[in-house]
Amino acid sequence: MSDLAAGTSGIDVRATVTGLIVAYELRIGEVLDGRFRVDELLGVGGMGVVYRARDLSLDIDVAIKLLRPELARKPEAFERFRNELLLARQVSSPHVVRIHDIARDGERWFISMDFIDGESLERRLERAGPLNVDAALALARGLLAGLSAAHHCGVVHRDLKPANILFDRNDRPTITDFGVARSLGATGVTQTGLIIGTPEYLSPEQARGEAVDGRSDLYTVGLILYEALSGHLPFSGGTPAETVMRRLVRPPPSLATRRPDLPRWLLAFDERLLKLTPAHRFANADEALRALDQQRLPPSPQRRRSLLLAVLAVCALLGTVELVRRQWPALRAGLATAEIAAPTPRVAVLPIAVDRNDASLAPLARAIEEHARYWLRDDGAVAVATRERVLAALARAAPDLDGDALERRLPEVARAAGVTQWVRGSLRRDGDAFVLRLQRDAALAADALPSVEIRGADAAALFAAYLQGFAAFATSAPPMLPAPAASAYGEALAALDAREPAVAAERLQAVSGVVATSALLQLALLQAQSDAREEVSVEATREQIRQTRAEARDLAGRLALAQATDAPEERANRL
């Protein structure tokens, strides 16, 4: 008996699952079935205890999973478990941990499988935080390749989660625990009504106890990719039961709300994986893998159906044209006398396009985009969509488009963002000069405004000229932002988008002499310092804002003062 088991003498350890595991614990050095020498305890999971062992016959390291005794004692449950393990053995992929055998040593049953000498995704995220884009794409590609191999063999994982994803010494992601999650029944529910698997990673249909297929695993890949890129699950917060309930009734918030810097196609890719209805996701892991490799999504099932309905609608419309023509005089008279209240225009400011080969233009473009958004928000006659909403709309309606292709899709982007007008623009170099072109388009051609072209000898000169040119699109006064500080402001915003608050604070400190003159600079600096947890600097910036924005009337000034006010009720009053 081991020290751990010996320490429980006098206690009815068999009264609990933990006790059952303790009672069947293996001793280091013990040889199972005359073949497997136990060398190290690796961890405890839902099915039992996992060890590293030496296969004395093949002279290799393997992983041994000692099954829970109560599972082995139930003939029907054990038979289902055994059959699914035999099925899982058919899966052959470098991204799937291969199961060798199921064997018995006395009253103890165990599984032998490949030993992966590395850490789990769960441990990596705890240790190093979110993955960069390339690492996250490699993770998703490995998971989808492994799932594709499994699904072709009729195996659905059902319990995919970061703890079940291991990285080997070559940093290759590998899926483990195949076949285990559905060992107690096709619905994924035990006889006592407990859902098998981690609630935070269940698909909606799995949580409802419905029949599932490979698309359930794809939903979980979406959850894992979301967490790997943002450091958070989309339904984080609350109890496990609450997170499951939220997942049953609504789609997750867009990844763009946490990582607006990500490519639009990647945001749309994860959103497709996380569709509430399985039929709206990718058809299978192969389709998802192709979309990932091509960085382009296939048409969604809803869009294919919409095209068919559109054709039918056109046919029906043609049938009514003659009737409308005959009744037009009466309709025109009615319209002439009707009083129609004009709705409040809703406007989106799109990211300013720049030459991909000239990254130095990106900070200035980001500054102009944010400044234009605040400028329009100060106009009480329009409502302005948030940047997060705009990015989410771009990800849904035009995930991998730019240039003319994006321009043709802008009406769809506007509908996805819930706006009727949009401001778009491009920034380029012309020799040593900068050229900014801006356009305010609308769903109704009559509401569109002529484009403006703005030139400047350098970044500061261009921004100063923009303050004059953009006045054609806005009726209020522009928010204060010194032209020489525009590029530093854009660099700080880009750093905040990339979740690098310390870098953002450093960029703004470079123009500290003018921060007090601009509420926009103060807002960005306060956010950067707060996110970087620079408490002393945060309080100094708050005090500066309270002194300089006490009588603020513009939106940026009121927001800055609200953020600098400690009492929540005072913040609400400021806004």
pLDDT band, residue 326 (cuts 50/70/90): low
What's the token pair of residue 135?
A: 């690492």
Across 60-72, average pLDDT: 83
Say which range, 24-33, 35-44, 192-201, 340-349, has the weakest mean pLDDT.
192-201
- Write the pLDDT tens digit of every residue in 505-542: 999 988 988 899 999 999 999 999 998 889 899 999 99
Across 399-424, average pLDDT: 89
Provide the Cα torsion 369, 370, 374, 375; round to 10°.
-40
The secondary element (H helix, E strand) that includes residue 571 is: helix 568-574
What's the token pair of residue 260?
A: 């607006």
What's the token pair of residue 367?
A: 């500054």
Q: What are phi and psi of 376, to 5 degrees?
A: -70, -35
- Write the pLDDT tens digit of every residue in 343-375: 778 999 999 999 888 889 999 999 999 999 999
Say which range, 16-25, 259-268, 318-327, 537-546, has the weakest mean pLDDT.
16-25
Give the pLDDT confidence score for residue 17 in this predicted structure. 45
Distance (Å, whole) CA 258 – CA 388: 9
- In terms of DSSP H, where are the helices of 382-518? 387-397, 403-417, 459-469, 486-497, 501-509, 512-515
Distance (Å, whole) CA 122 – CA 138: 16
pLDDT band, residue 330 (cuts 50/70/90): low
Give the pLDDT confidence score for residue 526 in this predicted structure. 93
Give the CA count within 13 Å in the CB-facing half-sphere of 521: 25
pLDDT band, residue 183 (cuts 50/70/90): very low
Give the pLDDT confidence score for residue 337 in this predicted structure. 46
Say which range, 121-130, 347-356, 437-446, has the weakest mean pLDDT.
437-446
Tokens 């690796």 sit at which residue?
42
DSSP state of 357: T
pLDDT band, residue 331 (cuts 50/70/90): low
Q: Reduce the DSSP state of residue 184 to 3 states and report it.
A: coil
Give the pLDDT confidence score for residue 184 in this predicted structure. 34
Q: What are the residues facing 347 on neighbouring strands? A: 384, 421
Output the 3-class SS for 430-444: ECCEEEEEEEEEECC
On the question of pLDDT at 310 being above 80, the answer is no
Distance (Å, whole) CA 477 – CA 384: 16
Out of 39, 101, 117, 159, the active site residue is 159
Q: What are the residues facing 175 on neighbouring strands? A: 96, 165
What's the token pair of residue 410?
A: 């802008």
**% of the chain at pLDDT higher than 90:** 46
Give the pLDDT confidence score for residue 356 in this predicted structure. 81
Q: Reduce the DSSP state of residue 86 to 3 states and report it.
A: helix
Q: Evaluate whether 214 touches 285 at the Cβ level (below 8 Å).
A: yes
Give the pLDDT confidence score for residue 573 in this predicted structure. 46
Q: Would strands 449-456 and 433-442 be described as parallel, antiparallel, or unpaired? A: antiparallel
Distance (Å, whole) CA 77 – CA 79: 5
Give the pLDDT confidence score for residue 362 in this predicted structure. 94
Distance (Å, whole) CA 104 – CA 2: 20
Give the pLDDT confidence score for residue 282 in this predicted structure. 95
- Write the pLDDT tens digit of every residue in 130-178: 999 999 999 999 999 999 999 988 888 888 999 999 999 899 999 988 7
On the question of pLDDT at 496 being above 50, the answer is yes
Give the pLDDT confidence score for residue 324 in this predicted structure. 52
What is the pLDDT of the chain when averaged over all its residues? 82
**% of the chain at pLDDT higher than 70:** 81
For the chain, the farthest-separated pair of C-alpha atoms sits apart, in whole angstroms, at 97
Give the pLDDT confidence score for residue 328 in this predicted structure. 57
On the question of pLDDT at 459 being above 80, the answer is yes
Give the pLDDT confidence score for residue 449 in this predicted structure. 82
Say which range, 39-53, 313-327, 400-414, has the weakest mean pLDDT.
313-327
Give the pLDDT confidence score for residue 425 in this predicted structure. 94
DSSP string, 264-308: HHHHHHHHHHT-SSGGGS-SSHHHHHHHHHHT-PPPPHHHHHHHH
Say which range, 29-38, 118-127, 353-362, has the weakest mean pLDDT.
353-362
Q: Reduce the DSSP state of residue 36 to 3 states and report it.
A: strand
Give the pLDDT confidence score for residue 379 in this predicted structure. 82
- Write the pLDDT tens digit of every residue in 213-230: 899 999 999 999 999 999
Instruction: Give yes or no: 168 in active site.
Output: no
Q: Reduce the DSSP state of residue 289 to 3 states and report it.
A: helix
Give the pLDDT confidence score for residue 3 in this predicted structure. 35
Say which range, 232-236, 326-330, 390-394, has the weakest mean pLDDT.
326-330
Distance (Å, whole) CA 526 – CA 268: 31
Across 108-131, average pLDDT: 92
pLDDT band, residue 210 (cuts 50/70/90): confident
- Write the pLDDT tens digit of every residue in 271-296: 999 999 999 999 999 999 999 999 98
Provide the Cα torsion 152, 155, 158, 160; round to 10°.
-70
DSSP state of 468: H
Give the pLDDT confidence score for residue 345 in this predicted structure. 86
pLDDT band, residue 206 (cuts 50/70/90): confident
